[in-house]
Amino acid sequence: MDMTPDNLKLVFQNVRTYYDEGVAKVSTPLMDNLVNVVPMITKEILLAYQDRLPRFRKWTGPREVLNAVIENYKMAAEKFELTTGISREHIEDDQIGLYAQRFARMGQASAKWAELLVRDRLQAGKSEICFDGKNFFATDHLINFGKKSGAQANLFPAKPLNRPNFVAVWQAMAALKGADNEPLDDFGDEVYLVHEASNTDMAKQICNAPIAILDGTTASTFGAGTNTSAGMAKPLLVKSLGGEVGTWYLIDVSGEKPLLFGARYMPDLVPRVSPDDPRVFDLDEFLAGSRARGRAGLGVWWKCARVEPS
């Protein structure tokens, strides 16, 4: 194949096809279900959070100004790239099909980019400070972080996934309070039980099965009854969480979602197709690369619980 503009255009049309096929094969359960995507028009965005829900009061006398504490959370975009080369000889010899799997994999990586950033930030939540000055997942979140008083948890150790532990954590999250010591009433309307592969069967039993084994082991010994936890959450398998076997999450996505993604530029494939490119002259190689800018973040901690098996 001669290095004419039309021939090179055809080559990179094929490359684009391989790339797009890779993108289409990827599932992104975190991004699709649990993440609030925030467009970024500049490098950095500033988000604000309030320590209580506003509540109407009976109006007697002058108005009472709500002086809720406003805390800020800053997210700055980070830059990422993924680049691969194509031998000029392979193009000359009509062997571009050799790159089908490589560019399909590149498409998959592009589609997973934001998903894995969110996964990493979620799993790092035990050591990342959120807007109330505590780690996102903590056992000592303040009830009133304006007065630095009280303590409540969204981190639950030593609770392997089973029905009693699921119910206990769900109830604890639903009972969290705001700075006015009133229930936040911000958990329980649309909850996902987020788990990795080892908890798949148990998650389905807890969330979907009409019958529950009352002691959690065998029906023949203790009998079975109605599964009252059915419908309290939707099971969501996230295979990429497999690095922490047994850990599970309860995440409420009604209204404000607790996981964030600041999107400045999403990945796309950009080829360098000119035969006069210095890279082609020096190394006999064309390039195609993807570039992205963005950042995953953690928002309101009271809508997200991390539960560890030990």
Residue 83's pLDDT is: 96
Residue 223's pLDDT is: 57
Q: What is the residue extent of each domain of the chain?
A: 5-307
Give the number of other CB atoms < 10 A from CB of residue 132: 21
Residue 270's pLDDT is: 94
Residue 219's pLDDT is: 46
Half-sphere exposure of residue 140, counting CA atoms within 13 Å on the CB side?
A: 5
CA distance 229 to 207: 6
Residue 281's pLDDT is: 93
Task: Mention every residue, 6+ apart, whose C-beta is less than 8 A from residue 97.
Answer: 14
- Which amino acid makes up residue 143? I
**pTM of the entire predicted model:** 0.89
Half-sphere exposure of residue 200, counting CA atoms within 13 Å on the CB side?
A: 8
CA distance 239 to 193: 13
- Paired tokens of 88: 């000029």
Q: Mark the ranges of the chain whose per-residue pLDDT is less than 50.
A: 216-221
CATH code of domain 5-307: 3.30.2400.10
Identify whether the C-beta of residue 249 lies closer than 8 Å to the C-beta of residue 203.
Answer: no
Question: Angle, nearest 10°, between helix axes 200-208 and 163-174?
Answer: 60
Task: Mention every residue, 6+ apart, whose C-beta is less than 8 A from residue 56.
Answer: none
Residue 244's pLDDT is: 96
Residue 58's pLDDT is: 87
Task: Mention every residue, 6+ apart, whose C-beta is less than 8 A from residue 126.
Answer: 135, 136, 137, 138, 155, 306
Task: Mention every residue, 6+ apart, whose C-beta is less than 8 A from residue 66.
Answer: 54
